[in-house]
Structure 1
Amino acid sequence: MRCARSLVRIQSLRALTAAAGGTVQPAATRKAPHARSLIAHEPCGQALRSLHTACVLLKNRPVATDYQEKSEREGEAAKSLVTYDDLFERAALEAKTKATFNQVLDVFIKRDIRRRGHVEFIYAALRKMPEFGVERDLEVYNKLLDVFPKEIFVPRNYIQRMFNHYPRQQECGVQVLEQMENYGIMPNVQTKVLLVQIFGEKSHPVRKYQRLLYWFPRFKHANPFPVPHQLPQDPVDLARFSLSRIANDLDARVTVYQLPYTDVCETGEEVTQPYVVGIQSPDQRHLLAKHNPSRPVFVEGPFPLWLRKTCVYYYVLRADPLPPEEKVEEPVDPERCFYYPLQLELDLERDLGDDDSFDVDEVDEGPVFAMCMAGRGDQATLAKWISGLQETNPILGRTATVFRLESGVRELQSAAEPEPEARPGEEEEELQSRGVKQ
């Protein structure tokens, strides 16, 4: 009987709520706990669940709260990104060094035990590493991996491992290893220990680490002409290294014709003389000795050469190719090289399907007799190089030298400026002004 009375009382409350609308809702919400308490304390065979009060409470909640909270969370995420960049910018005001970069990492690690926002912080740190000069420091990469929380992203069963447990964090760890790969940094045992503690043994970052250990030793010495990461700061030493790299001849000799110095004239004016460094091999000297003095030689340039992020310019001393009627084919000495003959006359049997009638564009360029690098690319500086070459190549004293110099790096020509029309006798005057050396 008491259960029946309680049910009748709940039905009456529902009827009053439907009839009165919003005015009776507060009363219903106040009476609902009382009704629920009566039902809970009444001894009956079946438990009753009163869900009406919960529905009323959900209806009273504003709908726009979820969107407001979501926008607030997005705003906090955007603010966190700006805050991480501000940490590095504030540290850069003092000095962009390894110590200041490690100091920013320590500040983030000690600020929160749970390391909230660590993925955004690591991405910001990867972008700022070249500015602080730590993009090739393995210790800094290991400390950056130490920012991840430990033993949280490790999968506990095969299902989590199969469905890429915590994909965003694993992708961030792979990105750290890819930046190490781009800069040629070999990870060590400490890197593996950190990755196993963070992501587990069968995770994607650990597999990326295993691939690096497999391929890096195989491609470490694949380049026969390696370029050091730190190039020489002295321009003369940089010119020596660059010319030796271009020549690709072990017998080539690098000669410094002039070192940079500052001279004081009688009037008290300081005159700075640039450096002049040249290179010439014995084969080039032999070709220049056989050159016809009646045909001029040309000094051309500048030509760019990139060494990592540094661009240098060089000049060449060359001649025009010989006409076909003046070419003389010298017979190859068969005993010149016993193990590797330079000429083979073999009558190979060809199949009917073999087609040797492919076209190859053969461009016959003139011989290059020497190369040089100079601090300035004007005619007066390069004339000192030609004067120094005459000591080992006397034929240059009897050969005309024409300077074909293009506009240098600092001498930029505007494309909008119209070029003046050439007059009939202007071409000969231009050749004379360029300085034909007899």
Structure 2
Amino acid sequence: MQPTTPLFLQKFSSNAPESKELQRLTSFENVENKNRDTYLDMIRIFINRNHVYRRGHVEFIYSALKNMESFGVQKDLEVYKALIDVLPKGKFIPTNVFQAEFMHYPKQQQCVIDLLEQMEDNGVMPDYEMEDLLSNIFGNRGFPLRKYWRMMYWMPKFKNSSPWPVPSPLPDNIYELAKYAIQRISSVDVQSQITVYQTKEIESSIDDTWIVSAQAPSQKDLLKNHDLKEPVYVEGSFRIWVKDQLVNYFVLKRQPKQHIKTIKDDLDDVSNIRTPIFSFQKPIEKQVQVMQSVHEQEDGVILAVCATGTSTKDSLLSWIRHLEKDGNPVLSDALVVFTLRTGTREVATVNNVEQKQIESK
């Protein structure tokens, strides 16, 4: 029994001439229900046209690539293979070495190269079936097949090379993304501890949200030895990307401390060399310089880092109060300056709920 043509495609069968209705249905901008099934149906409509070489396939592929994100199929391998299958087979295969090296049918080859580039940008790994498609369309000497071979060599090497693996696809929950982001930032210190706070545990809190915080024992020691005459700053928001998702985070920091070098002699100075055999003078006094931690940077000392569900000043104030209870009592007497990117800056002490507005710099 021969398969019947679906009702959706009967009026566009191989015997039907090209019509305005067909052009409308193959236009991705005019589609209302944008999903994967609709996207594949439009590709099948275009393939079933009664043209030997399917004229306009390059423009169709570029239009399909442009609208992939609106249909949510930019990471679907089967969709990319369906687009490659739009091209006619055997027409673009070079017959001699000159045609192969001078890019026989350059418009069509460049179109497929752009398709493979978009696959690579979206992290889509090709398979061996795609190699057969490209070989049947452009031959074994085609530039798209060379691009495919390069992708198959490099992409498996980098697929699992990230030290911060995340699931694919990414979770839609911003809370899970924040944990991945803070874990990536705090991995600079292997002793960093990630803690999740709830703002509702603070009595005077207004927001009801979560706080993902990270702090290492060395950062607690730096905060313990902090001079109360100097303020500590809450800065942000800064941006970090978890794959293609953006997460905002904040840091607690203070001004950098000037370390005085105590080594008196220049070790590269050879103008006055002394030998231990003929020189009976007292040895030169040398002192050991204190090694700076990884949290002491040139622009400041990082004391903690966090991401909140609302990224508001109230949630950050709740974060400071949670840090105070979690082994940082010095914050109860310290002057906390909120230098958020809102045009104003607020000074607040943890014990006092009142906040004083001052002019921004």
Tell me the TM-score normalized by structure 2: 0.71
The residue matched to 2:67 in structure 1 has which SS? helix
What secondary structure is seen at the aligned counterpart in 2 of 1:111? coil
| Higher RCO structure, 1 or 2 (CA under 8 Å, sep 6+) | 2
Match of 1:134 among 58, 62, 73: 73
C-alpha spacing 1:373/1:158, structure 2 compared with 1 (3 Å): closer
* Residues 303 and 189 of structure 1, relative CA distance in 2, 3 Å threshold: closer
Is 1:395 the equivalent of 2:329?
yes
Q: Residues 223 and 328 of structure 2 are in contact (CA less than 8 Å); yes or no, is this contact kept in structure 1? A: no
- Match for 1:371 among 298, 305, 320? 305
Gaps in structure 1 of 5+ consecutive residues: 1-78, 264-270, 332-344, 351-361, 414-429
TM-superposition CA deviations, 1:26-64 (whole Å, max 9, x none): xxxxxxxxxxxxxxxxxxxxxxxxxxxxxxxxxxxxxxx
Partner of 1:276: 211
Mapped to 1, the partners of 2:214 and 2:100 lie a distance apart of: 61
Change over 3 Å in CA distance of 1:172–1:437 after alignment to 2:
closer
Q: Which residue number corresponds to residue 16 of structure 1?
A: none
Once the two structures are overlaid, the 10-residue window that deviates more, 219-228 or 187-196, is 219-228
Match of 2:149 in 1: 210
Detail structure 1 runs of 4+ shifted over 6 Å in the superposition: 345-350
Q: Does 1:97 align with 2:97?
A: no
Aligned to 1:236: 175
Q: 1:132 to 1:278 in 2, by over 3 A?
A: same
**Equivalent residue for 2:112?**
173
Matched, 1:321 2:264: no
How big is the shift at 1:259?
Answer: 6.2
- The 2-side partners of 1:299 and 1:314 are apart by 11
Alignment correspondent of 1:405: 339
1:394 deviation in Å?
4.4
Q: Name the counterpart of 1:417.
A: none
Per-residue CA shift, 1:62-119, capped at 9, x if unaligned? xxxxxxxxxxxxxxxxx99x937853234x31x2211111000111111224122212
Paired position in structure 1 for 2:314 = 380
Decide whether aligned partners of structure 1 residues 121 and 394 sit closer, same or farther in structure 2, where only a CA change above 3 A counts. closer
- In structure 2, distance between residues paired with 1:348 and 1:280: 40
2:54 counterpart of 1:119: no
Contact kept? 2:199, 2:318, Cα under 8 Å: no
Measure the CA separation in 2 of the matches of 1:110 and 1:229: 34
Confirm or deny that 1:87 pairs with 2:31.
no
Q: Which residue of 2 is the match for residue 305 of structure 1?
A: 240
Q: Equivalents in 2 of 1:230, 1:401: separation in Å? A: 43
Secondary structure of the structure 1 residue equivalent to 2:251: strand
Provide closer, same or farther for how the CA distance between residues 203 and 239 of structure 1 changes in structure 2, counting only shifts above 3 A: closer
Contact conserved, 1:313 with 1:373, CA < 8 A, in 2? yes
Percent identity, aligned pairs only, is: 37
Q: In 2, are the aligned partners of 1:155 and 1:199 still within 8 Å (CA)? A: yes
The alpha-carbon distance between structure 1 residues 305 and 260, as it changes in their structure 2 partners (threshold 3 A), is farther
The equivalent residue for 2:285 is none
For residues 370 and 124 of structure 1, the distance between their equivalents in structure 2, rounded to whole angstroms, comes to: 47
2:348 is paired with a residue whose SS is coil
1:313 counterpart SS class: strand
For 1:170-223, what per-residue CA distance to the aligned partner results, in whole angstroms no more than 9, with x for missing partners?
222222222222222222111111111111111212222222222223333444
| Contact 1:134/1:140 (<8 A) preserved | yes
Instruction: Measure, in 2, the Cα distance between the counterparts of 1:365 and 1:436.
Output: 23
Residues 384-425 of structure 1: CA deviation (Å, up to 9, x unaligned): 2222112232432553232223244xxxx6xxxxxxxxxxxx
For residues 398 and 182 of structure 1, what CA distance do their matches in structure 2 show? 48
Cα RMSD (Å): 3.6
Structure 2 Cα separation of the partners of residues 317 and 305 of structure 1: 16
Asked whether the 8 Å contact 1:293–1:395 carries over to 2, the reply is no
> What SS is found at the alignment partner of 1:435?
strand
In terms of fraction of residues, the more helix-rich structure is: 1
Amino acid paired to 2:347: R
Any idea what SS the aligned residue of 1:279 has?
strand
> Which residue pairs with 1:357 in the alignment?
none
Equivalent residue for 1:290? Answer: 225
Q: For 1:219 and 1:349, how far apart are their aligned partners in 2? A: 46
User: How much has 1:147 moved relative to structure 2?
Assistant: 0.9
Distance in 1 separating the partners of 2:93 and 2:153: 24
Q: Max radius of gyration: which structure?
A: 1
Q: CA 1:379–1:118 in 2, change beyond 3 Å: closer, same or farther?
A: closer
CA distance in 1, matches of 2:67, 2:348: 52
Determine the C-alpha separation between the residues in 2 that align with 1:162 and 1:242. Answer: 46
- Deviation per CA, 1:236-287, whole angstroms, max 9, x where unpaired? 22222211111123321111110689x9xxxxxxx75232221111111122
SS at 2:222 equivalent: helix
> Which structure's residues are more often strand, by fraction?
2
CA contact (8 A) 2:175 2:309 kept: no
Is residue 44 of structure 2 the alignment partner of residue 106 of structure 1? yes
